[in-house]
Structure 1
Amino acid sequence: MTRTIVITGGSRGIGRQLARRFHESGDRVVITGRSARVRETAAELGVTGIECDASEPASVETFAAELDGEVDVLVNMAGGNTDLTAPEPDSLKALAAQWNDNLSANLLSAVLTTAALRSRLRPGAAVINVGSIGAEYAGSSYGAAKAALAAWSAGLSAELGPHGITVNTVAPGYIEDTEFFHGKLTDERRAHLIAATHDKRPGTPDDVAALIEFLASPHARHLTGQTIHLNGGAYTTR
């Protein structure tokens, strides 16, 4: 059976590579993004692209109406550290806006998209939320938003589990060849991030895509409610 895969934030980086992998496996893939770039990426990959700002209720409603049929895999990839493109807050009002921006981009986007598609998730479906190693050091608005995403994801697993639907969070560490840092990653910072790993290499988009592909597969049907860290040992659990 051909599965329907929905990937928010799928126009670049990890999302793009994930869309490529699912498409090459024969799945029907739908990617979303906030700009026309998503349609360009979709045309290049041979998948469907729909413009959608996952943090805006009206935009998500429009997307859900345009998407036809049931959903087998939902990957909430949309997000990013909005602090990297914003000025330092100089007032409490600016600080509140900074925190709201990251919460909206990284938590609300997943909540809204999942709620919009929840009734269309097939029994046996998988919801995979993309978190971050930053959630373990949640002093910033980005880290706190990703920590909240993981907590919400665990609760959602308990709600959807009786319907045979798994819910997990993938928390990557430093992943190279993405636009996450918006050109602001220094050589010194990059070297530090790699040195913190056990295998002394950066992660790649395909590392993350391969793990998500496994979580969406028949081999992971009893794996749910978890945050799975993918960081080369930069943050370890036991």
Structure 2
Amino acid sequence: MNGLNLTGNIALVTGSNAGIGRAIAQALAANGAKVGVNCLSNIAQGEETVAAIRAAGGEAILVQADVTDPNQIDRLVNEVEQAFGGSIDILVNNAGHLVQRVPNAEMTEDMYERIMNVNLKSTVFMCKRVLPGMKAKGAGRIINMSSVAAYNGGGPGSSIYAASKAAVMAYSKGLAKEVAVSGITVNNVSPGFIGNTMFHATFTSDAARQATIGGIPLGREGTPEDVAGAVLYLASELASYLTGETIEVNGGMMMR
């Protein structure tokens, strides 16, 4: 029996139009899951993700929605569940963003809320929305996305981002204890320096990139597929006795 076989499962991956989210959606679909792909604004990229999944023989739909808005979260989940004829089995809260590097002396209330909303609020209310369906089945997999920044405070101007990712980790532990009785597992994946993403293309200089890679024991930056492998494991039956935990995907740059 293939412990990674997800046939019959309905998955929803937020922020999955490109980068890490796209790799996760493709990995889940390649192993049999029907996948809801979500994007905020770049619909063309989302369509590319869905097309790639379908070309490989998988099933996927695209739903544009802002996952910081509970009303849009409700619509997102409804559309995915209606398209695939059942409730969500696997939720991957991948949507998140540094938003902007801002020193604390210059932090505004608006920027604070934007950062916390996209990273923490989206995770909390996505989980809330899918839990009734999972509880009714007596099973479910929730995988949340933290960051190595949750441990080291992040780079310059990213302390609120780091705090939001630490909050996601703590929230996931509390939720894991709350829903374990219903057969639902809740775990985190914590990426380190992952290349081929808009995050580092936007916020990291080439000099900083090279310096960071120089400090990684495995000698390279990670790939979106490296992160997707950890998510696939947590979504599968192979991880049925694992909950409230965090898998570090960072090439050894931060070991717990």
Q: TM-score, with normalisation over the residues of structure 2?
A: 0.85
Equivalents in 1 of 2:182, 2:104: separation in Å?
Answer: 44
How much does 1:108 deviate? 0.5
Mapped partners of 1:196, 1:132: distance in 2: 17
Partner of 2:202: 183
The separation in 1 between residues aligned to 2:30 and 2:181, in whole angstroms, is: 31
SS of the residue 1:32 aligns to: strand
Equivalent of 2:96, from 79, 87, 90?
79
Matched, 1:213 2:219: no
Q: Which residue is equivalent to 2:146? A: 131
1:159 Cα deviation (Å)?
A: 0.8
Q: Does 147-156 or 176-185 show the bigger shift?
A: 176-185
User: CA–CA distance in 1 between the matches of 2:169 and 2:53?
Assistant: 30
C-alpha separation between the residues in 2 aligned to 1:144 and 1:183? 20
Counterpart position of 1:31 = 37
Gaps of 5+ in 1: none
Whole-angstrom distance in 1 between the partners of 2:195 and 2:138: 35
Q: Partners in 1 of 2:190 and 2:64 — Cα distance? A: 25
Give the match for residue 42 of structure 1.
50
- Determine which of 124, 149, 159 is the counterpart of 1:140: 159
How far the C-alpha of 1:73 sits from its partner, in A, is: 0.8
Alpha-carbon deviation of 1:67?
Answer: 2.7
Deviates more, 1:114-123 or 1:215-224: 114-123
SS of residue paired to 1:183? helix
Answer with 113-122 or 58-67: which moved more.
58-67
Shift of 1:182: 4.0
Q: Distance in 1 between matches of 2:187 and 2:104?
A: 33
Q: Deviations over 1:11-62 (max 9, x none)?
A: 1001101111111222111111112232443234221110111111221122
Aligned-partner Cα distance in 1 for 2:76–2:213: 38
8 Å Cα contact 1:83/1:142 also seen in 2: no
Decide which moves more: 24-33 or 176-185: 176-185
Q: What's 1:8 paired with?
A: 14
Q: 1:155 aligns with which of 161, 168, 174?
A: 174
Q: Work out whether 1:21 is the aligned partner of 2:36.
A: no
Q: What is the alpha-carbon distance in structure 1 between the residues aligned to residue 21 and residue 203 of structure 2? A: 21
Q: Is the 8 A contact 2:230 2:247 kept in 1?
A: no
Tell me whether 1:53 sits opposite 2:66 in the alignment: yes
| Alignment-derived partner of residue 119 in structure 2 | 106
How big is each residue's C-alpha offset from its partner over 1:137-195, in whole Å with a ceiling of 9 and x where there is no partner? Answer: 23711000000000000000001111111100110000011111343422210112112
2:112–2:160 Cα contact (<8 Å) kept:
yes
Query: How well do the aligned residues superpose, as a CA RMSD in angstroms?
Result: 1.8
Q: Which runs of 5 or more structure 2 residues have no equivalent in the other structure?
A: 1-6, 55-59
For 1:95 and 1:59, how far apart are their aligned partners in 2?
A: 26
Which secondary structure does the structure 1 equivalent of 2:22 belong to? helix
* Partner secondary structure for residue 82 of structure 1: coil
Aligned residue number for residue 235 of structure 1: 254
- Residue of structure 1 equivalent to 2:57: none
Count of residue pairs the alignment pairs up: 233
TM-score, with structure 1 as normaliser: 0.92
